[in-house]
Amino acid sequence: MTTSALFTPHTIRSTSFRNRIWVSPLCQYSVDERDGVPTDWHLVHLGSFARGGAGLVMTEATAVTPVGRISPEDTGIWDDDQQAAWARIVDFIHSQGAAAGVQLAHAGRKASTWKEWGPESGTQPEADGGWTMVAPSAIPFTGYGTPHSLTVEEIAETVADFARAARRSIDAGFDVLEIHAAHGYLVHQFLSPLSNERTDAYGGSLENRARVLVEIIRAVRDEVGDDVPLFVRFSATDYAEGGWDREQTATVAAWSRDAGADLFDISTGGLVRDVTIPLSPGYQVPFADFVKRESDVEVNAVGLITEAAQAEEIVASGQADAVMMGREIMRDPHFPLRAAHELGVEIDYFPIQYHRARWRRG
């Protein structure tokens, strides 16, 4: 048996993860009735990753309020029907030995869009089921409609929406909560000076631009108590001059840790179009490593991580405490089982129903 950093269990607060291969939030645009209620698709989609050996299975971006959905076909966690549907999915994830996480999200100016394979792109008009978008400032995302600039009172209500969604998530059985502050969605819009031109307490200085995130973290922590792991997903750079960057990310990660967050899920981009992103295997890992070292926080890495040896090296070298996988684990929901075989690691959670297909050495 080989010792593996990737397959070493990890504990954050009261939750233990059986390994460091975690499933990224993956938008599915598959709600049937535009009511935010996850369906059998979500059960099988997320359940397959748990059956496949992942340590943590994270939901797609799950809206804390109807206007926070990316599209009308996205999931939510603002009412009883959604909570009950999620509880069924969480129960199955747990039955397969994985931890269950929910990404609490608000799309801000990137809300009310057509789904990925819809008839059009950009903002979906109200006549077709869309709604008025909100943002820190009335600055549209390129190709989208102009959002409504949130009032201070509306910001306070949005913070409360995150806290209420966090309570529903815990009541549904989720082990981990993640606040989505990346990819150009609402919290990222507050963080970046390219999308935040406010002149009040929520704009201008870095402290002011980070205020809404810190308020959300504190409100969520107050709501769910000390036992629940709380993650924050950051885009560590806008890839644009004058925008959000890795140094600001590291500073705000430290503030977020002090406010009650535990681990930072480091991605990049999404705030503005027409930027050059240097895509290559593991291209975002250096950003995770930078935030980890500069802020003395736990991080996970994500982005074109596709091979077992690559993932092992990221964790073993200390660049990240875990890896999140998206496209590769969609291609092969049993990637963790295959990775254990490739790395020579014996695990005790290969599904017994599949033992006849288990890889044999020699």
Write down the pTM of the prediction: 0.96
Q: How confident is the model at residue 361 (pLDDT cuts 50, 70, 90)?
A: low
Q: Has 144 been annotated as catalytic?
A: no
Choice among 166-170, 189-193, 348-352, 356-360 with the minimum mean pLDDT: 356-360
Domains of the chain: 10-357 (3.20.20.70)
pLDDT (average), residues 210-219: 98
Q: Which of 185, 202, 239, 349 is labelled catalytic?
A: 185
Q: Worst-scoring range by mean pLDDT, 3-12, 79-88, 111-120, 178-187?
A: 111-120
In the predicted structure, residue 360 carries a pLDDT above the cut 70:
no
Q: Per-residue pLDDT for 248 more than 70?
A: yes
Report the pLDDT averaged over residues 34-40: 96
pLDDT higher than 90, residue 261: yes
* pLDDT for position 357: 86
pLDDT at 128: 87
What pLDDT was estimated at residue 362? Answer: 42
Report, as an integer, the average pLDDT of 294-301.
Answer: 98
Mean pLDDT of the chain: 96
3-state secondary structure the chain: CCCCCCCCCEEECCEEECCCEEECCCCCCCCCCCCCCCCHHHHHHHHHHHHCCCCEEEEEEEECCHHHCCCCCCCECCCHHHHHHHHHHHHHHHHCCCEEEEEEECCHHHCCECCCCCCCCCECCHHHCCCCCEECCCCCCCCCCCCEECCHHHHHHHHHHHHHHHHHHHHCCCCEEEEEECCCCHHHHHHCCCCCCCCCCCCCCHHHHCHHHHHHHHHHHHHHCCCCCEEEEEECCCCCCCCCCHHHHHHHHHHHHHHCCCEEEEECCCCCCCCCCCCCCCCCHHHHHHHHHHHCCEEEEECCCCCHHHHHHHHHCCCCCEEEECHHHHHCCCHHHHHHHHHCCCCCCCCHHHHHHCCCCC
Return the percentage of the chain with pLDDT > 90, whole number.
93
